[in-house]
Amino acid sequence: MTNCLVLGGNGLIGSFIAEQLASQGHKVRAFDKFWEQDNLKSAAGIEKFKGDYLKRGDLKRTLEGIGVVFHSLHTTVPVSSIKDPLHDAETNILPAIGLLEDAVGAGVKKFVYLSSIAVYGIPEKSPISERASTIPVSPYGVSKLAIEEYVKYFGRAKNLDFVIVRPSASYGERQGFSPETGVVANFVFKALKKQALSIRGKGEAVRDLTHGEDIAKGVVKAAFTETKSRVFNLGTGKGISLNELAKKVGEAVGEKLEIKYEGSARGIQEHVYDVSRAKQELGWEAEIGIEEGVKKCVEAFREKI
């Protein structure tokens, strides 16, 4: 079994990664601020490291004796990165370079980076395969892609084994909530608070929504499976419109929801993955359907509210 470090180990996907690793007998360190909810409070066999990603010394201490690093931490979301591109670059790209240098120095054998569907930007065709052009339309996507390239560089220059996974839009009951949170959490919280859902355009935008636990299982498979590929899309391979999602949230909550359609649709209108590579090389596919996933969120968020 392997000594593993999960950066962002208290996050939506990171906490599920930590639990998956521990359940398979790996020794796990979860690094995060742990300043709000603790997603690992009931998890066994996981060593928690409370620290600040922007303090290089905090990270160095956690790397001692580690064989595989899972980097599932990012300080921004697409909307906030557009508001402050410099902050996005300074708090993501530069720390990632330092992390890679320190990982090599500490003798880490493999680096697993969680990138994003955002690296593709506006897709030329759908579904999106790993061979599609990467032309991000937000600083968030740019920084994710830049870190991918640094991971590849360290692979070439320092013989650091690596794999890059690009999750689709992920969601789950462990997600925090803010106005910039993903669409599932946003819809569920508003529905439970009996507030109208706000949708730009006519609600026809399509997303590939994947539960965080499914993503985590794919990430762990990518880390420990011998494959010919180094980059994997992880998603359901199925699209759901915002209108369809709103209907499913209403069904889960048990109420007919009010929807306010505002202005014209902006941004990317269809984001759906081709996940055939992950299925063929990793033997992985998403298992949690949107109905089940939304119900999990409704149950968990009811307690928070």
Percent of the chain exceeding pLDDT 70 equals 99
Is the domain defined by 3-170+209-234 classed in CATH 3.10.310.30? Answer: no
Q: What is the pLDDT of residue 179?
A: 58
How do strand 206-207 and strand 240-241 relate by DSSP bridges?
antiparallel
d(CA 27, CA 4): 6
Mean pLDDT of 97-115: 98
Residue 177 has pLDDT above 90, yes or no: no
Mean pLDDT of the chain: 95
Give the span between the Cα atoms of 131 and 254, in whole angstroms: 42
Please tell me the class of the 173-207+237-275+287-304 domain.
alpha beta
Residue 3: partners with Cβ closer than 8 Å, 6 or more residues away:
26, 27, 29, 65, 66, 67, 68
How much is the average pLDDT of 116-129? 96
Task: Tell me the pairing of strands 161-167 and 110-114.
Answer: parallel
What pLDDT does 303 receive?
86
Name the percent of the chain lying above pLDDT 90: 89
Q: What is the mean pLDDT of residues 107-116?
A: 98
123 Cβ neighbours under 8 A, 6+ residues apart:
132, 268, 270, 271
pLDDT of residue 206: 96
> Which tens digit of pLDDT belongs to each residue from 234-245?
999 999 999 999
Q: Are 175 and 237 in contact (CB under 8 A)?
A: no
pLDDT tens track for 30-39: 999 998 789 9
Nearest-Å Rg of the Cα atoms of the chain is: 19
pLDDT of residue 7: 98
- pLDDT at 180 (0 to 100): 66
pLDDT of 130 strictly over 90: yes
Q: What is the pTM of this model?
A: 0.96
Q: State yes or no: pLDDT of 181 exceeds 80.
A: no
Q: How confident is the model at residue 228 (pLDDT cuts 50, 70, 90)?
A: very high
pLDDT, tens digit, for every residue of 189-227? 999 999 999 998 999 999 999 999 999 999 999 999 999
The predicted structure's pLDDT at residue 76: 95
Lowest mean pLDDT among 38-42, 61-65, 66-70: 38-42
Q: Crossing angle of helices 139-158/94-105, nearest 10°?
A: 20
pLDDT score for 263: 77
Mean pLDDT of 292-299: 97
Complete DSSP assignment for 201-235: TTS--EE-EEEHHHHHHHHHHHHHS--S-SEEEES
**CA-to-CA separations, 57 to 1, 95, 98, in angstroms, rounded:** 27, 11, 10
From the CB of residue 40, how many other CB atoms can be counted at a distance below 10 Å?
23
pLDDT tens for residues 248-262?
A: 999 999 988 999 998
Mean pLDDT (whole number) for 61-90? 96
Alpha-carbon distance 28 to 21, whole Å?
7
pLDDT at 109 over 80: yes
Domain with CATH 3.40.50.720 in the chain: 3-170+209-234
Residue 178 has pLDDT above 70, yes or no: no
Phi, psi of 290 (to 5 degrees): -65, -35
Residue 166: the pLDDT is 98
Can you tell me the distance from the alpha carbon of 276 to that of 33, in angstroms, rounded to the nearest whole number?
A: 36
